[in-house]
Each structure stands twice: as C-alpha cells, then as structure tokens.
Amino acid sequence: MSVPATPRLPFALPAEDRAVSPYTGYTRTHWEAVADGLLDAAWRWSTPGGALLDLPGRPSRSGVRSDGLEGFARTFLAAAFRVAGAGGKDPHGWLDRYARGLAAGTRAPGRDDTESWPLILGHDVQGQPMVESASVALGLRLTAPWLWQHLDGGVRDRTEEWLRGALRHTPAPNNWYLFPCTVAGFLESVGRGDAETAAARQRALELLEGWYRGDGWYADGDHRAFDHYNGWALHLYPVLDAHLCGDTEAAERYGARLRTHLQGYSLMFGGDGAPLHFGRSLTYRFAASAAVGLGALTGHTPLTPGASRRLASGSLRHFLDRGALTGDGLLSLGWYGPHEATLQSYSGPASPYWASKAFVCLLAPAAHPLWTAPEEPAPAEEADRVLALPAPGLLVQTTRADGIVRLHNHGSDHVRPHEGEAAADDDPHYGRQAYSTRTGPTAPGNVPDNLLSVVVDGRPGVRRRLRPLGAGHGDGWGWAASWHRPVFAAGPPMVPGLRVESVTVVRGRYELRVHRVLGAPAGSRVTHTGWATGPEEGLVSALHGLHGFDGAPDEVRAPQGTAYTRWALVPRLTGESGGTSVHVCLATLTAEPDPAPLSGAVADVLVADACVEVVWADGGARTRIAFDPVRVTHEEG
C-alpha cells in the first residue's frame, strides 16, 4: 500500500531503531520525545500564571475559559505519564509549570479573571470542567511524590475543594460517572477520602456493572453506544485505578474484561497503524491505543509485548506521518489535518489532547518487555480474519493483502433511551452500515455512504436506532444482522409498519449485504450505497446488485468528502420496493491492484419466501440467509 511522505515535525525525534522496531522504528524514547514536543507547543499558549492553556481556534460550546482548563488538564495527563514513567525525572520541568498553574487556577474558582478555573457544576449546567477534573486528579495521583507532596498546604486544600465539585454534582449519564470516581480515587490515595469519595466510587462502579454487555464491551450508558470510549475511558479508568492502588480483586475483575476486549479490539487497527474511523470524539486520534498500552502495562492482554508495541507505536506514527500536527506543533481539530465534519459541538481547541491517554504506555519502565521485545506483526497483518462480536452487534473483517480493517455495524447507534428518533439527528459516526481504517463516512448533507435507504414519496429514510438480530462467525466467514425503522426528515417522521431487516455476510474481501424491507408503501424505492473513496487514496470501492436492484450502479459525488479525502465518490444502486421486498448486493473495499470485478464472484442467487441462498463462484460455496427469525449458515463447496 502507498505510504505518504513523512511531514517535517516541528520537534526532533530520535533516529529510528529498525532492529528492535522493524515495523514502526519507534522506541520508548520516541514516545517521550513526542510527549515533550506536544507539551512544549501547547505551553506557548499559557496564561501568565499557567492556569489555562488557551490554544488558538474556534471555541467549544462550553466557552473559552473551560477550553483553557481543558488545555491545562489534558496536557497535564501527558506530562504525568511522562514523568511518572521516568520515576520522577523531569528534565524539562513540566511539573513546576503545572504546580504554578494549580496554585493560580484554584485561587478563586469561578471568578472572571485571567487565571481562575471555572467551577465544576452539573453536566447540564457547566459540565465540561467535570471531565477535566478527572485528568487533573489522575495527573496528581501519578505524580504525587514529586508534585502534590511539595505543594503549599493551602494550594492542596484549594485543589481538593475544587475537585470535590465533581463529587457533588450530576455527571452525564455515561462514562462521565468515572470522572468523579477518578477524583475520589486520587483523594483517597493522598489520605483525603471520606464517605463522599466512597459514595462516588460505589455509584460509578455499580453503573459500570450494568453497562457491561459481554465480549469485553461496555455500553457508554444505558443505551447501545459501543465505540472507542471503551478503550480510552470505560476500561482505562477502573483498570488503572486498580493497578495504582494494588487492589488485586478489582484488577482481576476489570482486567479480565480488558483482556477479552483486546482479543477483538486488537483486530481494529489496520496494517498502516490506523484505528477504525468509527464513533464520536475521533479527534482524540491515537488515544485509541490507550487500552493496548494499559493491557501491556498491567498484564491483562492476550497480545505479546511486541504486538502491543506495534499497535501503539503504529497508531502514534500513523497520525504524525499524516499531518495531525499543525506547523507550530499543536494537535489540530480533525483526523489527519483539520476536518470539521469529524467533530462534535463539545470539541474545542484543546479537545484533541485526550490523545494524552495513549501515553499510559510510558508507565511501563524502559526495561519492561513492552519496550525491549522486538516488534511483531499486528493481528490484521498476520492473516485474513473475521470476528463476530454478538454483544455489541459488530462484525470485524480484515484482509492481510491490503491491511484494511472493516467494521460492519449492527448494534451501535448512540440513541439514548429517553430520546426519540429523528432524521434531523442522523449521525454518520454510528448510522452507517460499515466503517473502515481507510475511509470515513460522508458528512450530513452529502449522499450517505454504506446505507440502504427506503425512499417514500421522494423522501429518503435514515438509520437511527438499531435492534441487533444476532452475529456469528466460522472459518473464514462471519455475519451480523439488525433491524431498524427508517425515519424521515420531511413529512411524517415514520411510516407505520415500515421496517428494514439487514444482514451482512463477509468472506475474504467480499461483503454480501441482504435487506428485507417490510411495510413499504406502494411506489416506494430503495437506494443502497457503498464505500466513499477519493481518487488519491488508491482504493477501489465497488457495488454489484444481485437481486432487487435496477441494473448497474451509478456514482454519486460527496463534495464535502470524508476525513480521508477532500471529495468522494459513492457507488449507488437503486430499486423498486413496496409491501415486502428483498434486496441483495455485493460490496467491496480494497487496495489490491486490479481486483477482479464483483460480477464474477457469485454464480447464482435464489430468493424464495423468507430465504436467500447465494452460490459463490469459487468452488460452489453456499451461504443461506433465512428470516423469521434470522439464521445464517455457510458451507464451503
């Protein structure tokens, strides 16, 4: 696959070491150098007292003061991992700067002056400071021997009082409950625990139990949001807390889940180091490797040390090589460079610095096998793999030849229990049928990629709340299924009785997509789109109709492009619907040169009643999909 020319970084890195790190060239000293470079660039934007880092850019919805606190807190986390991992050695004096900032920021919280931090209030009032309190608390916990213990007593008392705002106000109903839990863990670690800290920890861990759904995956709240927050929040905080306080019982409970999570999650990094472009907060970028580093640090991982470093360093280098840093060394708001469609409204100039969580790997000392073992291939580089994850409703498909990982989504939707469904809330980060490590979803207002849409009276429906129908895999193949009620932006928001049942079956680089539409009004139509790609990416996106479509696909432009390309083309099939109809197509995304056309991959398709049978051209393998209930079987010829 093509690799872009490495941009000139605004800070120096050590020479590559291809002997111990044949895949990335990166060693522990590279990680330290990147942390130092990021910190140095960010601190150029500090207030005089060092309490706020007011990075340039459009403010978040929380306002510039909260954004400044975010800059302080998130970079402090990187500095804490850096210094704690070095046993307190701090050659650049980072902790002195954060000590000054703590003193200035907590002097008069809530005051409208140059340095004062905003108060921590409820998530629906002034919520973002609660998020940042966790990074401040964790940074203080990691560096307590060299920072906290040397602070003036008054500063310690003021810092505790500010942090306790997180214990006294209501978090958002998701991973936010781990923020007061993290604050409580720090306060208890320095002898300042009480009934208030104990209650915050108990409440968070009780909720976490209810959010654990199996296969190593937590839902991000009482709904079906499964995404990167599993690694950089829902596993990170409880496992690291247990590790730091030496709680063997908690370490075993949460560590076993992390190990299971990494069995599947380790497949979700491409051969080029990229994590999956899926879910929200993607501007955190290489924070996606935090769970990998944490597993290596604590021993709760199925991966060898060399494979763990390959994944973590590969992800870090992937973004540095592709322009994630601005010319003055700041992390931009986006994926590679700036990309507005990747962002959420809560993202501000300092938001990308949750990427600091990746530096948890630095807590492993230089002599740890994570750093001394030779790099080994990432799981996606070893062989073609198919993995079904029934609990979150996800299906992972990897191809070794091009290093692409594809995720077929039949279970993660980010629609909260109390929310209705509305097309105006269409979320490209969850609502598409498939995601990958080489493509991103198209933006709202552009043609949606990877979606079957029912078109009623000229109004296209979108996919919001997903109801999983099962998932499974065998040797070299796998499937996942779900159903949804299409919702519409104009006219009536729903059509009574209308539903779409969708099944994805993967085999090699092929994606067999089968949909049954029920209750469609007479005269309805369907459109089905494939992967969105641009000409500069070296990718082939193809779609081939097998049943229920009107001939060959056309190509539709997405002028706003994706996080990977300035503009994109999306293949599209169309067909008639009405009543009950079945639609079958074959899709592929590949970087292999001159791939065989999809038209030759399937020898026959049989559709009868509530059953679809596909006969593959290579040896007569058969795939059968039955509805009522959904069942999928596959036999090689």
Do the Cβ atoms of 437 and 378 come closer than 8 Å?
Answer: no
* Side chain identity, residue 625: I
| Buried/exposed 551-560: b ≥16 CB within 10 Å, e otherwise | eebeebebeb
Q: For residue 537, how many C-alpha atoms fall within 13 Å in the half-sphere facing its CB?
A: 25
Do the Cβ atoms of 546 and 602 come closer than 8 Å?
Answer: yes
Beta bridge partners of 572: 529, 554
By percentage, how much of the chain surpasses pLDDT 70?
99
**Whether residue 631 has pLDDT greater than 90:** yes
**SS3 of 197, please?**
helix
Do the Cβ atoms of 484 and 466 come closer than 8 Å?
Answer: yes
Q: How much is the pLDDT for 394?
A: 98
Q: What are the strands of the beta sheet with 631-635, ordered from one edge?
A: 602-608, 611-616, 622-626, 631-635
Mean pLDDT for the stretch of residues 523-545: 95
C-alpha 479/C-alpha 469 separation (Å) is 10
Spatial CB neighbours of 420, under 8 Å, sequence gap ≥ 6: none
Question: Please, which pLDDT band fits residue 502 given cuts at 50, 70 and 90?
Answer: very high
Nearest to 410 by CA among 358, 479, 477: 479
Give pLDDT tens digits for 234-263. Answer: 999 999 999 999 999 999 999 999 999 999
Q: How much is the pLDDT for 8?
A: 82
Do the Cβ atoms of 14 and 30 come closer than 8 Å?
Answer: yes
Spatial CB neighbours of 244, under 8 Å, sequence gap ≥ 6: 141, 142, 185, 189
C-alpha 111/C-alpha 120 separation (Å) is 13
Question: Please, which pLDDT band fits residue 419 given cuts at 50, 70 and 90?
Answer: confident
Q: How many Cβ atoms from other residues are within 10 Å of residue 518's Cβ? A: 15
Q: Is the alpha carbon torsion for 424, 567, 399, 513 positive or negative? A: positive
Q: How much is the pLDDT for 191?
A: 98
**SS3 of 253, please?**
helix
Q: How much is the pLDDT for 7?
A: 73
Q: What are phi and psi of 487, to 5 degrees?
A: -120, 155
Q: How much is the pLDDT for 5?
A: 52
449, 455, 459, 462: CA torsion to nearest 10: -40
Q: How much is the pLDDT for 3?
A: 45
Mean pLDDT for the stretch of residues 278-298: 98
Nearest to 576 by CA among 520, 537, 519: 520
Tokens, residue 27: 């060693």
Do the Cβ atoms of 110 and 119 come closer than 8 Å?
Answer: yes
Nearest to 180 by CA among 109, 220, 129: 129
Q: For the residues of 551-562, what is the DSSP string, one character each?
A: SS-EEEEETT--
Element (H, E) at 68: helix 64-85
**Whether residue 83 has pLDDT greater than 60:** yes
Beta bridge partners of 602: 616
Question: Please, which pLDDT band fits residue 2 given cuts at 50, 70 and 90?
Answer: very low
Taking phi over 0 as left and psi of -120 to 50 as alpha, with beta for the rest, 87 belongs to left
Give pLDDT tens digits for 170-221. Answer: 999 999 999 999 999 999 999 999 999 999 999 999 999 999 999 999 999 9
**Whether residue 313 has pLDDT greater than 70:** yes
Question: Please, which pLDDT band fits residue 41 given cuts at 50, 70 and 90?
Answer: very high
C-alpha 193/C-alpha 131 separation (Å) is 20
The residue with tokens 């499937």 is 479
Give pLDDT tens digits for 107-160. Answer: 999 999 999 999 999 999 989 999 999 999 999 999 999 999 999 999 999 999
Mean pLDDT of the chain: 96
- For the chain, the domains span 28-381, 383-635
Mean pLDDT for the stretch of residues 484-504: 95
| Ordered alpha helix ranges (H), 212-360 | 229, 236-245, 248-265, 290-298, 305-320
CATH number given to 383-635: 2.70.98.70
Question: Please, which pLDDT band fits residue 1 given cuts at 50, 70 and 90?
Answer: very low
Residue 7: asked if its preceding bond is cis (omega within 30°), the reply is: no
Cα separation of the two ends of the chain: 32
Q: How many Cβ atoms from other residues are within 10 Å of residue 161's Cβ? A: 11
Q: What are the strands of the beta sheet with 540-547, ordered from one edge?
A: 467-474, 477-484, 499-507, 510-520, 579-590, 540-547
Beta strand 467-474 with 452-456: parallel, antiparallel or unpaired? unpaired
Nearest to 128 by CA among 77, 163, 96, 171: 171
Q: How much is the pLDDT for 6?
A: 64
Mean pLDDT for the stretch of residues 278-283: 97
- Could you please state the CATH topology (level 3) that the domain comprising 28-381 is classified under: Glycosyltransferase (1.50.10)
Q: How much is the pLDDT for 425?
A: 83
Q: How much is the pLDDT for 420?
A: 84
Spatial CB neighbours of 97, under 8 Å, sequence gap ≥ 6: 43, 46, 50
Beta bridge partners of 590: 540
Give pLDDT tens digits for 147-171. Answer: 999 999 999 999 999 999 999 999 9
CA 553 to chain centre: 31
pTM value is 0.97
